[in-house]
Structure 1
Amino acid sequence: MKRAARMDGVAGFGIDQVADAVVGADVLRLENLDTDLPLPPEAVAVTRAELASPVSNSWLPFTGDLGLRAAVSDHIAARHGHVYDPRREIVITCGGCEAVLDILLATIDPGDEVVLTDPIYAGLVNRVRLAGGVPVFAPLVVRDGEWSLDRDALAAAVSERTVALLLMSPSMPSGCVLSRQDWAEVARLCTEHDLFLLYDAAMEALVFDGREPCGPLEHAGMAERTVIAGSMSKAYRMIGWRVGWIAGPAPVVSDAGWVHVYNTTGAVSVARRAAEAVLRGPQAHVAECVAELQARRDAIIAALPGWRIVRPAGGWSLLVETDRPAEWFLERGVAATPMTGWGADVAARHVRFVFSAEPVERLESLSARLA
């Protein structure tokens, strides 16, 4: 059977293979993004209450309930100071990664280049390929023990074939957080080269060490050049609900919305109701989870002195530079993910530890397991 050219270079994750190899309960599950952090209080209650409602068994509206779209608009306005029209500039999707693919399919032609950082989430890299685009990587650098955007490398990655930058902050899997000066350089590149920014905002609330939130929409001209892919899966831990969104200029959101409709029809109705309730509800639980994630990060670093670990500034994973394969870690009761395919040369030198599903007390056992 014919194989589509777009599948060239598209490879599977190492995550599921590592998870399948886990035997026994005494293995630290650091290989995937499941979480033991508590759900928002409204998530389960509203889902249960709405199960029997007729509107929870409806196809409509394909692009998401207006109430949820308005809640997303308010959520973005509170964080970024920009108000999106819920009717024309927001579409609800089946998670944030569907939003990314919808945007790419609506904007990328075969051969168009999209610049990402190295390392970066393999799911973003391969969605660029599935859309017919060519991923180009700008390597991150380490400054003061943390990952940092190399602005010169980012500028050098832009060519006459570049149409977009695809960035996360905090970035997965590195935990790199872009500074206000970094976003200013992104804005300069987008303006000078007539690019658009696909901003994966899934992790943006999960920043550590009291960092001041900042983002691309602070900079002049970027509201017209930015398309946001958002999600309930990270800051709100609602992984299984599969609710995300697209927010941006009306023309591209309209096109991406049609991609969404013809790909998935609509996000699950009852999940959309829960998402709206959570976005409208108290937000203190987000800060509580950030504090717990930061404590877990610190526990891993303290347990492994002498290991080449780059401290993440946010998110819920970190990278360890090592030539040891994932199998070596698993033999010692640590399930970790190889980073082959999660960027280029920088990613390939690392394995990933995810700290969203293991408490501090178990993470402290790393020192004995990996002695």
Structure 2
Amino acid sequence: MAVRRLQKIPGIGVDRMADKADSMRNANILRLENLDTDLRPPPAAIRRTHDAIDDDAANSYLPFMGQHALREAAVERIRRSSGVTYDPDAECIISAGGLAGILNVLLSTLETGDEVVLTDPTYAGLINRVYLAGGVPRFARLIPGIDGWRLDLESLADAIGPRTRALLIMSPSMPTGFVVSALEWEAIALHCERAGAWLVYDAAMERILFDGRQVVHPVSLPGMRERTITVGSVSKEYRMIGWRVGWIVGPEQLMADVRLTSLSNVVCQVGIAMPGATAALTADDDGVAAATAEWERRRDAVMSALTDLPVIRPHGGWSLLIDTEQLGLAPSEASRRLLERGEVAATPMDNWGPSGSRYLRLVFANEPIERLADIRARIRLSWDI
């Protein structure tokens, strides 16, 4: 019998889908199930990581809150996005990846039973971390439309209650590719102010924006510096998934608690990974613009191939959703047929928010356009459409 805090955490599904695809040992399978990318990290990051392996200072627990150069780079990264400055020593902590940072923030802000508002659908791992921290997830609905996703502002208002402690918002969001607009950020900020709640901003994909969109960092809004905790990482934008380096940046009065939680949880970060992360954040050309352009081309290729299917257009990120319920298929059945008949691995969105159970996710970040060219034929073969 699982302990109570685990009873509502069924997993994320990606691991099981990946295991099935791996077990088939078939190089023809399109790997669209996991949020990976085949695009290389910044060359400077790779070189500096190689150097760090031979650097005794990198083989250390110290400094517990992360190397100073990386903390400086992280707050400068946020300053460029928002125009807001932070003290790298008092207001920045390096974490062992972005999601570890989010868990540490939730553990530092929630009492048991406190509510956290997320968008729906959203990454199951965010929902699960709310549960792990003793919180209760509430959901603001995302509305699918011809041009993509929009936040239902009435649903957002309905999700706010007397026990709301935080809003946990990712933009661009997994798995939808939803990008929060300036108007939506203003509504979110207003609710944070009225409820006296924190905004936990998952900025892991902040610059992976399509169709000419520009970054809107919520901390730039009036009054939000003292309410916003930004959690970022090198995994997505910088294509450095295996480094497991992230950062938490927020107001000094909260960061003392986050420091204590970080010391009590993972203790410290990956020592040999931090110099490479610093190199990525300070490189003259970090490759994010070129990588984003390539991911946008892949998105366009998939959207064009699936134009007759109920696919919702992502405005950023690495993935998109198909509403298989509109096709008369449960996502789990659509996924099974797609793997067995069409040799495509794709994850059903069960447990990725209340509406997730009608969607199948396709990750377009990990396969080149040439490999994606026959995706419509594979789907037709699999679903008899």
Q: How does 1:185-224 map to 2 (within 5 A)?
A: 185-224=187-226
1:280 counterpart residue number: 282
2:383 counterpart residue number: none
1:313 counterpart residue number: 315
Partner AA of 2:336 in structure 1? E
Match of 2:296 among 289, 294, 297: 294
1:361 counterpart residue number: 370
Task: State the secondary structure of the residue aligned to 2:311.
Answer: strand
Question: Number of residue pairs matched?
Answer: 369
For the residues of structure 2 that align with 1:50 and 1:233, how far apart are their CA atoms? Answer: 18
**Alignment deviations for residues 181-225 of structure 1 (CA, whole Å, 9 cap, x no partner):** 111101111111111100000011100000122121121110000
In the alignment, does 2:84 pair up with 1:82?
yes
2:356 counterpart residue number: 347
In the alignment, does 2:335 pair up with 1:333?
no
Deviating beyond 3 angstroms after TM superposition, the runs of 4 or more aligned structure 1 residues are none
Q: How does 1:152-231 map to 2 (within 5 A)?
A: 152-231=154-233
User: C-alpha displacement at 1:14, in angstroms?
Assistant: 1.2
**Alignment deviations for residues 142-193 of structure 1 (CA, whole Å, 9 cap, x no partner):** 2343011111111111011111100011011000001111111011111111
CA change 1:105–1:349 in 2 (3 A) is same
User: C-alpha displacement at 1:4, in angstroms?
Assistant: 2.1
For the residues of structure 2 that align with 1:143 and 1:301, how far apart are their CA atoms? Answer: 14
Give the gaps of 5 or more residues in structure 2: 381-385
1:119 counterpart residue number: 121
User: C-alpha displacement at 1:284, in angstroms?
Assistant: 5.1
For the residues of structure 2 that align with 1:237 and 1:170, how far apart are their CA atoms? Answer: 16
C-alpha RMSD over aligned residues: 1.1
TM-score by length of 1: 0.97
Partner AA of 2:239 in structure 1? R
Partner AA of 2:348 in structure 1? P
User: C-alpha displacement at 1:305, in angstroms?
Assistant: 2.4
For the residues of structure 1 that align with 2:339 and 2:2, how far apart are their CA atoms? Answer: 34
**Alignment deviations for residues 103-141 of structure 1 (CA, whole Å, 9 cap, x no partner):** 000000111010001000000000000000000111100
Partner AA of 1:19 in structure 2? A
Task: State the secondary structure of the residue aligned to 2:273.
Answer: helix
TM-score by length of 2: 0.94
For the residues of structure 2 that align with 1:255 and 1:299, how far apart are their CA atoms? Answer: 46
2:9 counterpart residue number: 10
Partner AA of 2:272 in structure 1? V
For the residues of structure 2 that align with 1:250 and 1:352, how far apart are their CA atoms? Answer: 38
For the residues of structure 2 that align with 1:92 and 1:125, how far apart are their CA atoms? Answer: 22
Partner AA of 2:20 in structure 1? A
In the alignment, does 2:66 pair up with 1:64?
yes
Give the gaps of 5 or more residues in structure 1: none
Contact 2:75–2:86 (Cα < 8 Å) also in 1: yes
Partner AA of 1:370 in structure 2? I
User: C-alpha displacement at 1:18, in angstroms?
Assistant: 1.1
Moved more, 52-61 or 320-329: 320-329
In the alignment, does 2:58 pair up with 1:48?
no
Moved more, 277-286 or 176-185: 277-286
For the residues of structure 2 that align with 1:145 and 1:273, how far apart are their CA atoms? Answer: 40
**Alignment deviations for residues 318-341 of structure 1 (CA, whole Å, 9 cap, x no partner):** 001002421111111110001001
Partner AA of 2:149 in structure 1? W
For the residues of structure 2 that align with 1:284 and 1:251, how far apart are their CA atoms? Answer: 32
